[in-house]
Structures are given as structure tokens and as C-alpha cells.
A and B are shown apart, each in its own frame.
Chain A
Amino acid sequence: MTITSIDIVIIAMYVVCVLGIGFVLRRRVHDSTDFFLAGRSIPAWTAGLAFLSANLGAQEMIGMAASGAKYGILTSHFYWVGAIPAMVFVGVFMMPFYYGSRARSVPEYLKLRFDEKTRGFNAITFAVMTVFSSGISMYAMGALLSLLLGWDINVSIVASALVVLCYIALGGLTSAIYNEVLQFFLIVFGFAPLVYLGLREVGGWSGLAARVPSTFVHAWANLGDPAANPMGVEWFGLVMGLGFVLSFGYWCTDFLVVQRAMAADSMNAARLTPLIAAVPKMMFPFLVIVPGIIALALSASAAPGGATLLPLAPNGTYDYNMALPHLMSRYYPAGLLGLGLTGLLASFMSGMAGNVTAFNTVWTYDIYQAYLQPRATDAHYLWMGRMTTVVGIVISVLTAYAAMRFNNIMDMLQLVFSFVNAPLFATFLLGMFWSRATGHGAFTGLLCGTLAAALHYELTVVAGTTPLVPKLVVVHTYPSDMAQNFWGAIWAWTTCFSVTAAVSLATPAKRAQELEGLVYGLTPRPEESHLPWHRRPAVLGAIVLVLTLALNAVFW
């Protein structure tokens, strides 16, 4: 793939624009609330698109296309079973407690609802995980640009990190959110022609279906038996593990996305944020998974011994992570290539900015202010936020190099999330909907849940693979790494749920007036009957769910 001056012009316009937004928004940052919470002034549609975009890092785009090539349309379960129901749940049921409590972060909500140690545990694991994800995203981008364009991996990592650093350090969360909305449009416009041209070449959806195994174009039909589908998992493990535990754990409790809703300008806007995000999210399988399947189809139908679209990895299988970039180099002429690369850069930057803004808030409010320097001036915390932005980016760059060992980036992320995020949803569910849950219960439950995830990973192997770490004793063999991740999450969640409930019953409860605004039943329900239907969270949530059901049925 060669890049021409016209492509550079488009990329340069994009970079100037994101930096310009950062510089302009610098004037809106007066105190730490402006910097970390965007002054709680973001309208619903902006917060909604940022909510979606913060998750659209390079590892999401490249990883989902890779999974599309590896597992086919089954990958859509990450969206239609996983993300969407969770986004509706967080908007309709959980946001009243997040936004209503006036907590400045998810760990801070845990502090108000439970106690200091639960907050500390969550803040520290979250901070580590965030920097880690940011590093993976960075590596994905750098490796890609170096492979495609021959750009030096260190230069492309440092250059794009500097751009993100500038616009966040200047304009804080407002700047990150506004740029995420801009990046959302560039991602869509940069990738959409790929889907159109790819489908045109293979002869539409029916032509595509004819070129790949039938298990790749059915989302549900082959889920009765793990051996019958490429993902190697059965419907129960998928719905409970991926849908209920992992996706709810991520979309409902991960501060990276919840922060966007907390920055909304009103309670109703905060509740609408994930619901507005759910509408485009529902369509993303067509933008990222379908190109993956197209890449597989074009590889599978190549002449024997001829060049395949997907390059071969050293172990003889396809290098799935190259699905998106190789399609781009196949179809995009000079000009459109610039736009496609801008989309890739935009996805990389939005993912990274999401991580960095969540990291600097949790560090400053939940670690630095909580334990290291509790009584400093607001100006000092604002300064600390800007410094943490720099430090967070430096740590991410270092982590990027640690990420180089893993093949399918998405599988690895799921593994990390299953240790940390899977038990977390049990804690929030009990915390928000059961006033009897206590701080000791929550902390012990979280600890046991995370340990259960790690222990599960240590005791099981995946058939036909070499594990990343040596196993203690092998008590079970899973047919695929997906099955192992999903079941690990189920074990972690169940452990956390039971331990939290048991310990809570054995420890003294908080008084009811301390829990006002934090728990269901002790919080006035947000009034929505005076709103027009399109501003009512419950109505929008129901519409989103019906559409998602329809999509599942169409791709059954």
C-alpha cells in the first residue's frame, strides 16, 4: 500500500481539526469539574455518540473484523446479545443511581454506596486495566501502520499519542468527548465504502453466504453444540457468559463509558446517553464484522496455491487481524485511502482518549485525592489531572510493547475483562437493587470473584492450544478460548454474587438514610411522564430491544 500526497492532505485536515477543538475548548476549563466531568454540560446526543466512540478503539475495529473472519456472523453476539441489552439496562435502570448520587466516578459511587476499601480495589484495578487497554490499542495501531505503510512503529505511536495528549491536556473531558463525536463520523465514513465495495465484489449477502461455510452466516442456528460452530461455544455459555456477565460488566460498570453519561447536562440526558449510543451500535456488525467475513470469502475462494487476501501467519493459519487493512489496500484508491486511514487513526485516538480521560479522573479523584493528598485546592487537582494525562500516556506507550505477544487481540482483552469486570456486575447489581448489601460483603465478593476468575483460568485449558501461563492442575478442557473466557466469567460472577450476599447478611447494614439516592427503593424514581415519547428512556429502551430482537431473527 502506498500513500500519496492527497491522502496526507486528508489526514492533516483531521489532525488540525482535533487539535483545533482542543485549543478552542481550553477556554472552557476553569476548574476540576470542567476538566474531569466536562462541567456536566454535555447534551444527550453528544454524550451518546461519545459513549459509543470511546469504546471504538483500534482494537475494537481491527479485533471485531478479525473475529468476523475467524467466527463469522457469530461475532455479532458481542453486539446483539452483549452490548445492546446492557446499554438499555444501564440507561433505564442504573443511571438514576450513578447520576443521582452526584458521584464523580464509578469508584466514587462504590465509596458512597459501600466503603473505602471497595472503592480502592475498584479504582486501582480499573486504573491498571485502563492503561493496559490503552497500550494494546496503541500497539495495534503502530503495528498496522508499520506493516501497511512502512512507517516506523515508534514514530507513529509517539506522534498519535502526542496529538491525543495535546487535546486532552488542553480541553479535558469536553475536548475528548467532542473529538469522539467527530471521530465517530470519520470512522463511519472511512469504513462504509469498504462494506459496499466488498459486497459488490462477492455478489451481495447471498454471494457472500455462498463462499463461506454456512456456520459463518448464522448467528443462532448452530449454537446447540459447541462442535457445530466456529466459536466453539454453546448457547448457554454465550448468553450467560458473554451476554449477561461480560457485557453487562463492561457497559454498566466500566467508568470509561459511564463517564460520558455522567458528563451529561441532566438526569434525563444521562439516561438517554447509552440508549442513543445503542442505535448506531446495533448497526456496527455491518460495518466491522461483514468486512471480516468478506476478507475470509476472498481468501477461501482464491485459486489453490494462489495469493489469498488474508496473509498467512507463521503457524499456517490466516492472520485475521489484517482483514480490515488488507481490504482497504485492495479497494481504496488514493484519496479514499486517506479517508480510510483517517478513520483508522480516529478510532485509535478515540479509544485512547477514552482510556486516558477515565484514567486521569480515577487517579486524581479516587487515588490521589482519596489517599495521597486529600486537602489540596481545586486548582491543584486540575493541575494533577493535566499531569496525569501525560503520565498515563507515557505508561500506555510502555504497555504497548507488552501487548506484542498476543495474536487475536480481542480474545486477550476478553480474558483480562473476565478477571476484573465479570465479578463487578454482581457487586453493582446487589449494591443498586438490594439495600442490605454491605461494604464488607462487596469487598470480599469482588476479591473472591476476581480470584475465582484467575483460578478458573489456571485450572482449565483450551483444546489444541499452548496456554499463555503454565497451569497448576487441569480439571477441564474447553473446545475454544471463547468458551473458556465465557465460562470463567460465569464462575467469577456467581462467586462474587454468593459471597457478597452471604457476607452482607453476616455484617451490619448501612442505615436507610445513608443510602438515599444510591439504592433502588430508597431513591425517588425519575419522573418521565411529562416528556415526549422520544425523550423517555423506557420507551426508547423498548424500541431498541425490539429492533435488536429483529436483527437476531434475521441472521438466525
Chain B
Amino acid sequence: MIFDLRLSIGLLLFCCGVVLLLHGLVVGVLVLGININLWWGAVLVLFGALMAYLGWRSPSTPLD
């Protein structure tokens, strides 16, 4: 079994980002004129995906 820290972090951030992004799309609350959920969700999705990809491409931590 392979465990990679970047993959775990990336997946969590990605999932949080998806939740925020969808919430921003559906509800769309504006804070100081910005749909902050939408934009920050998008940032999290991109960052999470990049991190997960790096971890998935070259998993660094064999478990046993």
C-alpha cells in the first residue's frame, strides 16, 4: 500500500474547494462585491488538484 502526503493534502483541499465552488455557484453570496466562495473555491480546486497530481505521479512514501 502506498501513502503519499501530497496526495492526501491535495485531495482534501480539492474536495473543500469543490464544496465552496458549488456553494458559490448555487447561492452566490456577495461579500464586498465579490462572490468569495466561488473564487476561493476555484483557488482551492486548482491548488488541490496540482498537489494531488504531484503526489499521484510519484508517490514517495512506501508504507511497509
Contact = CB atoms under 8 A, between A and B. Distances in A.
Interface of A: 6, 9-10, 13-14, 17, 20-21, 24-25, 27-28, 43, 46, 178, 181-182, 185-186, 189, 193, 197, 200-201, 331-336, 338-339, 342
Given A13-B15, A333-B36, A335-B19, 4 more contacts: A182-B12, A189-B44, A189-B47, A338-B19
Contact of A333 (B9, B15, B29, B60): B29
Contacts of B44: 189, 339
Contacts of B11: 17
A6 B23 contact: yes
Given A17-B12, A185-B13, A335 B63 contact: no
Given A193-B36, A197-B36, A201-B32, A181 B19 contact: no
Contact of A335 (B8, B37, B43): B37
Given A24-B3, A197-B32, A201-B32, A335 B20 contact: yes
A331 B13 contact: no
A86 to B, nearest CB: 27
Contact of B31 (A10, A46, A333): A333
Interface in B18-64: 19-20, 23-24, 27, 29, 31-32, 34, 36-37, 40-41, 43-44, 47, 60, 63-64
Contacts of A181: 5, 9
Contacts of A201: 32
B5 A27 contact: no
A335 B44 CA distance: 13
Contacts of B40: 189, 193, 336, 339
Nearest to B29: A333
Top 7 A-B pairs ranked by shortest CB distance? A333-B29, A335-B23, A335-B37, A17-B12, A182-B9, A335-B20, A178-B5
Interface of B: 1, 3, 5, 8-9, 11-13, 15-16, 19-20, 23-24, 27, 29, 31-32, 34, 36-37, 40-41, 43-44, 47, 60, 63-64
Given A28-B63, A197-B32, A333-B31, A185 B9 contact: yes
B12 A43 contact: no
B63 A24 contact: yes
B3 A339 contact: no
Contacts, number: 85
A333 B37 CA distance: 8
Nearest to A28: B63
Contacts of A14: 12, 16
B12 A336 contact: no
Nearest to A30: B64
Nearest to B63: A27
Contacts of B23: 6, 334-335
Nearest to B20: A335
30 contacts: A10-B19, A14-B12, A17-B11, A21-B8, A24-B1, A25-B3, A27-B63, A181-B5, A182-B8, A182-B12, A186-B12, A189-B13, A189-B47, A193-B36, A197-B31, A197-B34, A331-B31, A333-B27, A333-B37, A334-B27, A334-B29, A335-B19, A335-B20, A335-B23, A335-B24, A335-B27, A336-B37, A336-B40, A339-B20, A339-B40
A546 B64 CA distance: 42
B4 to A, nearest CB: 10
Contact of A27 (B29, B31, B64): B64
A87 B31 CA distance: 38
A158 B49 CA distance: 34
Query: Most chain-A Cβ atoms within 10 A of its Cβ — which of B15, B41, B44, B64?
Result: B15
B36 A10 contact: no
Nearest to A183: B9
Nearest to B60: A43
Contacts of B34: 197, 200
Contacts of A331: 31-32, 36
A46 B64 CA distance: 19
A20 B43 CA distance: 25
B3 to A, nearest CB: 5
A382 B8 CA distance: 27
Nearest to A6: B23
Nearest to A9: B19
A418 B12 CA distance: 39
A336 B5 contact: no
B36 A336 contact: yes
A54 to B, nearest CB: 16
B15 to A, nearest CB: 6
